[in-house]
Amino acid sequence: MSSSFRFLRFLLPLVVFLAIAGFLLKGLWLDPREIPSPLIDKPAPEFRLESLEDSSRQIDRKDMLGKVWLLNAWASWCVACREEHPLLVQFSRSATVPIVGLNYKDTRVDGMRWLAQFGNPYVASLFDENGRVGIDFGVYAVPETFVIDKLGVVRFKQIGPVTPEVLQEKILPLIQRLNA
Amino acid sequence: MRDDSRTGARLRGVCALVAAGLLAATLSAGLVAASGAREAQEVGDDPAAEHHMMRLASELRCLQCQNQTLADSNAPLAVDLRQQIRELLAKGQSDEQIKQYLVARYGDFVLYRPPLQSNTFLLWFGPALVLLAGLAALFWNLKRRLRRLESSPQYSEAESERAQRLLEKEAQEGGLS
Amino acid sequence: MIPEIGNFALMVATAVALVLGTLPIVGAARGNVRWMSLARPGARVLFLLVVVASSCLVASFVHDDFSDLYVATNSTHALPLAYKLAAFWGGHEGSMLLWLLILSFWMFAVSVFSTHLPREMVARILGVMGLVALGFLLFIILTSDPFDRVLPAAAEGNDLNPLLQDPGMVVHPPMLYMGYVGFSVAFAFAIAALLGGNLDATWARWSRPWTTVAWTFLTIGICMGSAWAYYTLGWGGWWFWDPVENASFMPWLAGTALMHSLAVTEKRGGFKVWTVLLAIFAFSLSLLGTFLVRSGVLTSVHAFASDPRRGVFILLFLATVIGGSLALFAWRAPKVGLGERFEMISRESLLLTNNVLFLAAAACVLLGTLYPLILDALGLGKISVGPPYFDTVFVPLLAPALFLMGIGPLARWRKASLPEIAARLKWAFAVAVICAVAVPLVEGRWSILVAAGVLLAAWIFGTSLLNLWSRIRPGEGGRMGAKLASLPRGYLGMLVAHTGVAVFIVGVTLVKGYEVEKDVRMDVGDTVAIGPYTAKFVGTSEGSGPNYQYLRGQFDILRAERLVRAMYPEKRQFSAKSEPMTDAAIAPGITGDLYVSLGEPVSQSAWVVRVYYKPFIDWIWGGCLLMAAGGALALSDRRYRLAQRRATADEAAGAGAASRA
């Protein structure tokens, strides 16, 4: 009995190594810099910002209650935003859900010009000049897109451009569920 | 996503830093750039609060960087968050509250000192456990080893003593080498 | 043309490595002399081929051959020659070739310095190293070829990262790799011993110098990396517990344990299993480190661009080498004999405790480094583990080992007496306590952490002095001078290395306890008090270097109203598209460094300036260099130089020892 226990002892390093290797293998497909949002299934933060297009108009959280909507953080200086923009423009035409833009750390002139050039899928864009609302939403790398339900609870966050796959496989089914 | 953040980041970074610098300059009220030796002012209205902010920031992670603290990074979000921390400190919030503020928005990832919670027990107590287990295993092993050597003596008493004397002589001469 | 030659050389090398990795090992198992004798020439041919391939890469850099993708990515026409050479290892592909070059160099060295080893042993050692080389060659050829072409050739290269255009870049990676990769020799010795079944004192004696020299290089390499970060990164830090830093530190910890364990195996025939396991661990941690920084699995400032495909390859390689060797260990190690008897309190048991402590320390670093990945892989959340964690957990873990450093060298083999040791050391302890109380007071602020650090450092230094004194004390046996001259270099090496540890601890403790940092807005003529100095901003000037534009600030440093020196921090712009690089001005001193760096301009003439005073920070790297000096001193021990002359005597002794083990 003691000799077989002794033998098992010598296997311990190998066992530990295999466990580590397993984790490393799994890790090859994870992104160590992707930060999952702690806001999922929590109420979206309060916000009240001027609209980008019309500085006399203010939009706040209460205005969006009662419907499922998308919040898309974008900026004119953001190259990756251009990747997803055509898809958003096209999606907005289907009028499934309203898309609200969050113009993050931009200037009115640049933002408006960008929308004129690339299209405007947003029912309105929040003008977040100093990025504070972005911070409240946990934005760290535009573009980022949030799906928010009728009660104002955040249900999904996409970090990086929205791809057709993400739209088809994650966002649309979720919207359907939330609207049901 | 990373690339454009960097390009945009550089522009924002330079702008933000110059803006911050100008802000600091104007807030350092009454200081007109004049010639003549003068004791330089530390940046910010309140150097003590500034130090406090930097101390906090050095335990927080810059989310737009590879692996840097909020204190050391020039990324736009880092600059913004440092400013946010300054404002929260000015409002009288405690270190714990400020950390909670950031964790609520960015998750535990933003803390370089992992919080002690259910998924980090192994992290915080693991090293001590490994050490204690290792030392305990060592102790039992040595005891067992002695018992086993006892039951099968290799040398006689006289030989053992002679060996011991030889070893002592050698230890005096050469040590471990 | 030249890159093609390089590629071809690598392919031939792969074939050679395949032969080298198989035939000699099988030959050793079967007693086939012809196959075994392939080992030495095989290793030398492999080295030659890798040198050819490396020369091709160097030539491509020197000739600005931008049709080679790797050269185009890491160089420009205007890059100074020294940095064109350093760009060899500036990117992933080249650094893999450097790994291979150094590995084949070690193989060459083993082939030259192994005439006194039995044929089977040489065959196995070089065979194992050949297998490792085979893995790297396949990795390079299949996934990371520095000779890939880009057609049409680029008109101008992308330039070496400005942060790397620095003398540190020329020296740090090669030193580090010499150490990292050097542990492959100890590893090969261990595997050879497991395969051959002869783990004995002679094996340890042969293996030891190889381990010591690899450890010495690794110590220098890590030291340089830290010093380089300090003066290049601009924020005065010197260790961040970044995954890449940890990747080099873990093999160092295992290697230190290994060195001490080998000493016991050599002198007393004990710890055989431990020593073999530590040798496997040290090299495994080196390989693991190589994986971690290239696979994208962890974030790091140093990480090379990542690619899951490369990651899978390295992981498979890791699994084969590490898994294979640990499986071999599990199979063969139980059969190894116990070794000599020693009591619960003896030098052996203290060194064994040392082994456990250093391994626990390495495990602690590994845990902290991998933990975020483990949690993420299990879906349990995403956290960060950074310096606050390591500083809190690591230091208390290692402190007992540091304390034992005082006791171990004085303990007798086989059976030591604690009361006797305590009596001998009581004065060292008293002096250490006095220092621990006094030094913080002298520095201006008493703190328990500083006191603890000073206590340990003074303890180690004091006990080393006592140890030395007991050996050279004039009395029976001769005069002090004669005794000093006759001390074995191995012993002196230990004293010097241990003193280096004490010096290192002093540096770390005092800098962390008493460093001063100030961020100030300075206009021309303004002054700021920092430490014992006053810095006065004189103004700025502009100019250009070989491949950059610079803005240089001038700061006059005064002490007690007298001008001591001037310091010139710079902001360097390497090209229109890169960010300006901060080049801090550092005034090193034995009692402390002054550190000035330019922040951002806030007006026409005023700048945000960061000044630091870092007391005793150079003792950190001084201590590391002393440790390395100790290693070098131990290597110059008489018995290694006489090794060749004693070749025949050793073989006879080896045969005798083998029959005893």
SS3 per-residue string spanning C263-322: HHHHHHCCCHHHHHHHHHHHHHHHHHHHHHHHCCCCCCCCCCCCCHHHHHHHHHHHHHHH
**DSSP codes, A162-180:** PPHHHIIIIIHHHHHHHH-
Asked whether residue A41 is assigned to any structural domain, the reply reads no
Residues A25 and A54 in one domain: no
| Confidence label for C479 from pLDDT (cuts 50, 70 and 90) | confident
Q: Which amino acid is at C527?
A: T
| Confidence label for B47 from pLDDT (cuts 50, 70 and 90) | confident
Residues A15 and A94 in one domain: no
Domain extent at residue A106: 48-179
Chain C nearest-CA distance from A63, in A, is: 33
Distances in Å between the Cα of C196 and the Cα atoms of A14, C26, C53, C189, C654 are 21, 11, 34, 10, 13
CATH of the domain at A140: 3.40.30.10
Mean pLDDT of chain B: 76
Which phi and psi angles does C198 have, rounded to 5°? Answer: -115, 85
Asked whether residue A101 is assigned to any structural domain, the reply reads yes
Whether residues C297 and A17 touch (CB distance < 8 A) is answered with: no
Lowest average pLDDT, out of A63-67, A125-129, C167-171, C354-358, goes to C167-171
Omega within 30 of 0 (cis) for the link into C532: no
Asked whether residue A60 is assigned to any structural domain, the reply reads yes
Asked whether residue A4 is assigned to any structural domain, the reply reads yes
Chain B nearest-CA distance from A80, in A, is: 5
Whether residues A141 and B8 touch (CB distance < 8 A) is answered with: no
Evaluate if residue A95 carries a pLDDT over 80: yes
Q: What share of chain C is helix, strand, coil (3-state, %, to 5)?
A: 65, 10, 25
Whether residues A38 and B12 touch (CB distance < 8 A) is answered with: no
pLDDT at B28: 30
Residue spans per domain, chain C: 1-165, 170-414, 417-511+621-661, 516-616
pLDDT tens, residue by residue, C188-216:
999 999 998 877 778 888 899 999 999 99
Residues A23 and A55 in one domain: no
Residues A8 and A64 in one domain: no
Whether residues B4 and A137 touch (CB distance < 8 A) is answered with: no
pLDDT tens, residue by residue, C205-251:
889 999 999 999 999 999 999 998 888 876 778 999 999 899 999 99
* Residue A173: burial class (beta carbons within 10 Å; 0-12, 13-18, 19+): exposed
Percentage of residues of chain A with pLDDT beyond 70:
97
Chain C nearest-CA distance from A5, in A, is: 11
Name every chain A residue with its beta carbon within 8 A of the beta carbon of C370: 20, 23
Residue among B12, B107, B109 minimizing CB distance to A105: B12
Residues A21 and A66 in one domain: no
Name every chain B residue with its beta carbon within 8 A of the beta carbon of A38: 103-107
Asked whether residue A138 is assigned to any structural domain, the reply reads yes
pLDDT at C290: 86
Residues A83 and A6 in one domain: no
pLDDT at B177: 43
Q: Could you tell me which residues come within 8 angstroms of residue A47 by beta carbon, excluding any fewer than 6 positions away?
A: A60, A61, A126, A133, A136
Mean pLDDT of chain C: 89
Mutate to test the interface with B, among C292, C298, C371, C383 (most CBs of B within 10 A): C383
Structure tokens at C36: 């075994």
The total domain count for chain A is: 2
Q: Are C443 and C510 in contact (CB under 8 A)?
A: yes
| Confidence label for C560 from pLDDT (cuts 50, 70 and 90) | confident
CATH number listed for the domain at residues B2-28+44-115: 1.10.8.640
- Inform me whether the C-beta atom of residue C296 falls under 8 Å from chain A C-beta atoms: yes
Residues A67 and A117 in one domain: yes
For residue B76, the surrounding DSSP H or E stretch is helix B76-90
Distances in Å between the Cα of C418 and the Cα atoms of B162, B165, C8, C410 are 22, 18, 63, 10
- Inform me whether the C-beta atom of residue B49 falls under 8 Å from chain C C-beta atoms: no
Residue spans per domain, chain B: 2-28+44-115, 119-174
Evaluate if residue C156 carries a pLDDT over 90: no
Which range, A70-84, C196-210, C520-534, is most confident?
A70-84
Mean pLDDT of all residues in A82-100: 92
pLDDT at C234: 67
Whether residues A135 and B81 touch (CB distance < 8 A) is answered with: yes
Mean pLDDT of all residues in A18-39: 90
pLDDT tens, residue by residue, C411-446:
888 888 889 888 888 888 999 999 999 988 888 888
pLDDT tens, residue by residue, A109-133:
999 999 999 999 999 999 999 999 9
What is the ipTM score, two decimals? Answer: 0.90
Nearest chain C Cα to B138, which residue?
Answer: C353
Nearest chain A Cα to C276, which residue?
Answer: A10
Mean pLDDT of chain A: 91
For residue C574, the surrounding DSSP H or E stretch is none
- Inform me whether the C-beta atom of residue A39 falls under 8 Å from chain B C-beta atoms: yes
Residues A67 and A136 in one domain: yes
Mutate to test the interface with B, among A35, A107, A133 (most CBs of B within 10 A): A35
Whether residues C323 and A21 touch (CB distance < 8 A) is answered with: yes
Evaluate if residue B99 carries a pLDDT over 60: yes
pLDDT at C59: 94
How far, in whole angstroms, is CA A14 from its chain's centroid?
A: 41
Residues A19 and A62 in one domain: no
Asked whether residue A37 is assigned to any structural domain, the reply reads no
Q: CA C561, C563, C566: angle at the middle one, nearest 5?
A: 140
User: What kind of fold does domain C1-165 have according to CATH?
Assistant: Four Helix Bundle (Hemerythrin (Met), subunit A) (1.20.120)
Evaluate if residue C491 carries a pLDDT over 70: yes
Asked whether residue A52 is assigned to any structural domain, the reply reads yes
Chain B neighbors (3+ CB pairs < 8 Å) = A, C
**Higher-confidence position of C577 and C280:** C280
How many beta carbons lie within 10 A of that of residue C268, not counting itself?
21
Residues A26 and A57 in one domain: no
The interface residues of chain C toward chain B in range 602-661, judged by CB-CB distance below 8 A, are 602-603, 605-606, 608-609, 634, 637
* Residue A107: burial class (beta carbons within 10 Å; 0-12, 13-18, 19+): middle
Cα C626 to Cα C286: distance, rounded to the nearest angstrom = 23
Mean pLDDT of all residues in C473-477: 75
Name every chain A residue with its beta carbon within 8 A of the beta carbon of B106: 35, 38, 138, 140
User: What count of CB pairs under 8 Å joins A to B?
Assistant: 60
Residue among C295, C372, C374 minimizing CB distance to A28: C295
Percentage of residues of chain B with pLDDT beyond 70:
67
Structure tokens at B19: 């803006």
Structure tokens at A87: 């898809």
